[in-house]
Chain A
């Protein structure tokens, strides 16, 4: 059934379709309406879940960890400062190998007041062991939420997923979303039945009881799970496409085959970049766009195979790792190690500053004219 939904609704309906058993949340500023919508859905009886109101974002994830350990499928949503407050438990979730799915609305961190789009919040959780996806539109938010549970819960993965969407450009923007009938969702995403859980009939201990001797191996196994995910994610995407007709990849390339100037980016800027590519093509510039969906695990081989034939590559980051450059730029460069294609790093749209088609065209102008020595900031008012 098609409906016009904001990104916040798309996320909440995705979690509802996934029939999550437990939702835990705290309304920190800036929280989103996602958990508010879910609390209504639970109160209406449309979703048979336990809605736990807690006293902080840290506790929200703690409650999910407890419930997920007991075998429940859990969900929470947050953004910026709230995600930062969860940090300790974000590590814990992944190391405990709990396949929790959390929505993060990408918002700027204070001070400097902005609750608008910025990916610094989620990128700051890079090394926690969570898988991370970035969505371009509200359909993708809904679909990705469903697929994220299937991927996270896969016995060879057992890792949590952070599903990211841009503040306002998705969270508060209405778009058409095709929602899937519940029986078809149920067939795609069966009830969560973990092999490892707190179970009085089959008792186990969990947590900090293993000795330092084992820590190294657990870390190794976690990394191996990320590597396995690189195989399993495309399989789940293929299954989703077969069932519901919508195709996704860990990356998505647009007019890349013969592209000379390739722009790499993520989130809503990716969609705008594709429209900019069409405009540049009309003017005779062979441009192309590569959208990165998965930041963790990072699809290095895929990125390299698509980019290596370009003449020049630019990476647009809506975040900055201070003292260095944008994080997606760093990853792209690492993936391109040994190739000779010049790579340009662009910073754009921090704190929700709009990134227009003209801004994107100006990046290709700069790639044509300048050497890729310095990080290039788009639209700074000097």
Chain B
């Protein structure tokens, strides 16, 4: 079983991202589970969402404390909230940022692989969200597919077509572009 934890802020679509990733893995025949952290929603507040992907039935129903993969939709969360808590040794961290992977210091975590991609620019280029609030949830999934190999980019695209109600093509293109641009 692979456990993925998403960190974003309200409005960025972290919860939807966890759903779309789960659906993509389901399309490849996997067992999946996705859900948000259940708390009172506050504007701009940190949002956490979870996806589990497994070949076998998933029985566990608690939050993810020891993720294999961290997906960070908003780089301003780094340092603001304890993101890397419990990350497995050799875990993967995928960040939406213009910066390069080597610019991040995740000391305290054992041998993480860091990947970065500028999803905000990709989202804006495809008309997703506004300058102030780009919607990066679909773009980041291309990067997740590339960095983890958990699901194929075609499954991500297919899942977007099923799960995202508007601008499906644009969202799928954004995912493909981040798949191509990923650094790490």
Name A residues whose Cβ lies closer than 8 Å to a Cβ of B: 2, 4, 116, 136-137, 166, 168-170, 172-176, 268-269, 271-272, 274-275, 352, 354-358
Q: Does B26 contact A (CB under 8 A)?
A: yes
Chain B residues near A355: list those with CB within 8 A.
62
A269 to B60, CA, bound (A): 8
**Contact status A174-B34, CB under 8 Å:** yes
Establish whether residues A176 and B26, one from each chain, have CB atoms under 8 Å apart when the complex forms: yes
A169 touches B61 (CB 8 A): yes
Task: Tell me the nearest residue of chain B to A359, going by C-beta.
Answer: B62
A272 touches B60 (CB 8 A): yes
A172 and B41 CA atoms in complex are apart in Å by: 15
User: Interface residues, chain B, CB within 8 Å of chain A?
Assistant: 19, 22-23, 26, 31-36, 38, 58-63, 65
Find out whether the CB atom of B62 lies under 8 angstroms from the CB atom of A4: no
- Write the nearest CB–CB distance from A293 to chain B, whole angstroms: 15
- Docked Cα-Cα span, A271 to B59, in Å, equals 5
Question: CB-CB < 8 A to A358: which residues of B?
Answer: 65
B13 to chain A, nearest CB (A): 15
Given known pairs A4-B23, A168-B38, A356-B65, the reply for A272 and B32 (CB within 8 Å) is: no
A4 touching B38, Cβ below 8 Å: no
> By the criterion CB–CB under 8 Å, are A271 and B26 in contact?
no
A86 to B38 Cα, complex, angstroms? 27
Which partner residue on chain A sits nearest B31 by CB separation? A176
Let me know if B33 and A174 touch, CB within 8 A: yes
* B residues near A166, Cβ cutoff 8 Å: 61
Interface residue from B26, B59, B61, B65 paired with A4 (Cβ < 8 Å): B26
A271–B23 contact, CB under 8 A?
A: no
Residue of B nearest to A113 (CB): B40
> For residue B19, which residues in chain A have a CB less than 8 angstroms away from its CB?
174
Contact assessment for B35 and A173 in the assembled complex, using a CB-CB cutoff below 8 Å: yes
Given A168-B35, A176-B26, A356 and B61 contact (CB-CB distance below 8 Å): no
With A and B bound together, what is the CA distance between A374 and B62 in angstroms?
Answer: 26
